[in-house]
Structure 1
Amino acid sequence: MLLGTAFVAALGGLNQTTYGAANFVERYLSAIADDDLATAITTPGVALDDDELTAMGVPTDISTAMLRSDVIDAGPEDVRIVDDVKHEDGTHTVTASYRLDTAILQTSFEIRAIDPLYGLLNRWEFIESPLAVVDVTAAHNPLFTVGDLTLDTRATKSGDELAAFTQTAPYLAIAPAAYEFGFSDTLVAAVPVPLATEPGVRAAVTVDAQPTADFVKRVQTQVDSYLDGCAAQTVLQPSGCPFGIEIDDRVLGDPVWSIVTYPPVTLTAGETAFEMPATDGMAHISVEVQSLFDGDKSQLEEDRPFRLALSATIRPDGSIAIQLQQTS
């Protein structure tokens, strides 16, 4: 009799502590803090089915790529259960306080009992999944990084969507957690953007990729090469070029062009590409001419100003495509 009473008392103690509602929430938060996302996402009530995803207004094939270790920047620390309210229907509202990065936060979780373990020990699940949805806008470059992961916002897209200069895609993310989004490679870089996810809340972040100095240098090289090709044409009006000259006198010999000043390339993001505004340059022509009036011969030396604008995009193979625009 005493043994049975002791067993029941011990079982009751376990169900109030180790297998209690408050401990269920604490274990979930601790798993995130330990970057043990495999445990966190398999906690009962965390996973979302197709009906729940549809009700949230997100596609059923939403990316789960962020639900892995080495992605979060920080998890909840100094976790403390500040309240555990049991309701008449047996559900619990468990409120936890924790530190996320430098912020002190408090979240209430609604949980309910499910079939007990071995028919004896309490088991619980979240009534509403604590997962967050993060809408990532990758501006001017489809790739972004979060933690040690590099993702492509075009992964589930097709057709014309693939060509968009700015892409947006939703991702499931563990919450609460702190993330850092960014991107950096040879051609574009984005300033890192921090984001803290809240359980069950949809958030948005923009990774704003801008051209690097190397990108600008490569475009400058292409512009200079194009203008050198124009200068190599021994005609008064080089074909497809932003400069030329009309001469009323007779031209003796081949005109010789040179570039005095190459337009310095500057790039900013436009609607569909990185753009350089109309920028001044200077060409020079040297050619011998003969006056139609009196037959005098002279050497014409003249600077010819011009303006050049362009747009630049990055091809899938990483090369740069530029579209030149001559302006008056």
Structure 2
Amino acid sequence: MDQSERGERVRRRPRLGLELTLIGVGLAVVVGAAFAGWAALERALYSPSAFVERYLGLLADGRAADALQVPGVSVDALELEAAGLPVTSDEALLRSAALASLTDISVVSEEQLDDGRLRVTAEYRAGAYPGSTTFDVEREGTVGLAPTWRFATSPLAVMELTVKGSMSFDVNGFRIDKRQVSPDGADADPLAPLPLLVFSPGVYSVSVDTAIAATPGVAVLSDIPFHEIPVELQATATEEFVAVVQERVDEFLTGCAGQQVLQPTGCPFGYVLQDRIVSLPTWEIVQQPEVRLQPDGAGWRIVPAEAAARLDVEVQSLFDGVISPLSEEVRFPVAGDITVLPDGTATIIVRAPD
């Protein structure tokens, strides 16, 4: 090998070393980028925060059935009992028709707990209400290299709902009859609270809007997982219903006045006379009672109100035999009971107060 060849080989060695170094650096960059990309992908798709965001996204899209399939969401009676929640809680509201809007979702924190669980907090807007909910998440397993997660505590909650004055009510526009969701079925106590499972987070607007009763409604924000939310709603009689009852009461009393006796049968008024009557008594209702209604169990009661009838009759004195006309105004109270039947019709019984 001559001198020139030796020099050429010396020059090639540094160049080869430089090339190998550059290749090594390039590989390190590629590997680092791959790990960084995987880490970013894991955070975006396979992290506890991503798991919670997917659940919230299902609720936002109105996909209630899919949200129930998320690991850790559905619960059984044993889990409810262990948490001190009613084991008879009904699932009627765990459906798309009962969901309200959920928007502006963002996960704001993720905290590692000592027991291996993670605490993920998300903010959102449920209907018109801003809210924040913290979820407990735990590792479930892996799919390939990707971790999988589940809710350590179910994000469901229980609305303990008492509706007075109506056997039916609406939740976010979804109509429910108490007899459909009560464990007692057709024998449901109209005043007993109804435990209903609901999603957290979520806003639930409860109202009554029937021909008989109505309420302005109340909005309830479910924002604490596996928590009991007591709600009480008092329905009032509609003006149309009161007008119908007033008409029936007026007709009933007018019918009573058509009986030409001193003590009309089944009626809340009458007159006791010691003298002998010599003509058939006639009655006229001169003041109808003003009907006001109050809820009474599954039905209603007519609040006692004053009415008046005038009696006209000729009487003969037992003392001296003199015949004279008698005209007397008789004032009397009126009450009543109204039973609402399963088909929505009502029976009205007018009576004297107890």
Aligning the two structures, in what range does the TM-score lie when normalised by the shorter sequence? Answer: 0.7 to 0.9
CA–CA distance in structure 2, aligned partners of residues 294 and 87 of structure 1: 103
For 1:21, the equivalent position in structure 2 comes to: 48
CA–CA distance in structure 2, aligned partners of residues 247 and 105 of structure 1: 72
For 2:136, the equivalent position in structure 1 comes to: 110
Unpaired runs of 5+ residues, structure 1, are: none
For 1:226, the equivalent position in structure 2 comes to: 252
Q: What is the CA-CA distance between 1:166 and the residue it aligns to? A: 1.3
Q: Deviations over 1:204-238 (max 9, x none)?
A: 11221221122222222332232122212111222
Change (3 A) 1:315 1:160: closer
Question: Does residue 167 of structure 1 match 2:189?
Answer: no
CA–CA distance in structure 2, aligned partners of residues 50 and 302 of structure 1: 68
Q: How does 1:143-222 map to 2 (within 5 A)?
A: 143-155=168-180, 156-158=182-184, 161-162=187-188, 164-200=189-225, 201-222=227-248
Select 2:38's aligned residue among 8, 11, 14. 11
CA–CA distance in structure 2, aligned partners of residues 260 and 153 of structure 1: 42
CA–CA distance in structure 2, aligned partners of residues 294 and 202 of structure 1: 79
CA–CA distance in structure 1, aligned partners of residues 240 and 205 of structure 2: 24
Partner SS for 1:51: helix
The farther-off stretch of 293-302 and 136-145 is 293-302
The farther-off stretch of 249-258 and 96-105 is 96-105
Task: Say whether the 8 Å CA contact 1:153–1:168 is kept in structure 2.
Answer: no
Partner SS for 1:172: strand
For 1:255, the equivalent position in structure 2 comes to: 281
Change (3 A) 1:87 1:216: closer
Q: Deviations over 1:75-108 (max 9, x none)?
A: 2x32222222345665322222333345443333
Calculate the aligned-residue CA RMSD, in Å: 2.8
CA–CA distance in structure 2, aligned partners of residues 14 and 160 of structure 1: 54
Task: Say whether the 8 Å CA contact 2:134–2:224 is kept in structure 1.
Answer: no
| TM-score w.r.t. length of structure 1 | 0.87
Select 1:72's aligned residue among 99, 106, 116. 99
Task: Say whether the 8 Å CA contact 2:164–2:297 is kept in structure 1.
Answer: no
Give aligned-pair identity as a percent. Answer: 34
CA–CA distance in structure 1, aligned partners of residues 231 and 167 of structure 2: 14
Change (3 A) 1:102 1:250: closer
Question: Does residue 83 of structure 1 match 2:109?
Answer: yes
CA–CA distance in structure 2, aligned partners of residues 53 and 283 of structure 1: 60
Change (3 A) 1:307 1:292: same
Q: How does 1:278-317 map to 2 (within 5 A)?
A: 278-292=304-318, 295-317=321-343
CA–CA distance in structure 2, aligned partners of residues 39 and 180 of structure 1: 22
Task: Say whether the 8 Å CA contact 2:169–2:176 is kept in structure 1.
Answer: yes
Q: How does 1:241-280 map to 2 (within 5 A)?
A: 241-270=267-296, 273-280=299-306
* 1:167 partner letter: A
Task: Say whether the 8 Å CA contact 2:159–2:196 is kept in structure 1.
Answer: yes
Q: How does 1:35-54 map to 2 (within 5 A)?
A: 35-54=62-81
Change (3 A) 1:106 1:239: closer
The farther-off stretch of 36-45 and 97-106 is 97-106
CA–CA distance in structure 1, aligned partners of residues 269 and 288 of structure 2: 12
Q: What is the CA-CA distance between 1:7 and the residue it aligns to? A: 5.7
How many residues are treated as equivalent by the alignment? Answer: 325
Unpaired runs of 5+ residues, structure 2, are: 1-23
Q: Deviations over 1:121-161 (max 9, x none)?
A: 22211111111111111212222110131112333333895
Question: Does residue 93 of structure 1 match 2:119?
Answer: yes
Report which of the two structures shows the higher radius of gyration computed on alpha carbons. Answer: 2
Question: Does residue 32 of structure 1 match 2:55?
Answer: no
| TM-score w.r.t. length of structure 2 | 0.81
Change (3 A) 1:157 1:264: same
CA–CA distance in structure 2, aligned partners of residues 160 and 180 of structure 1: 25
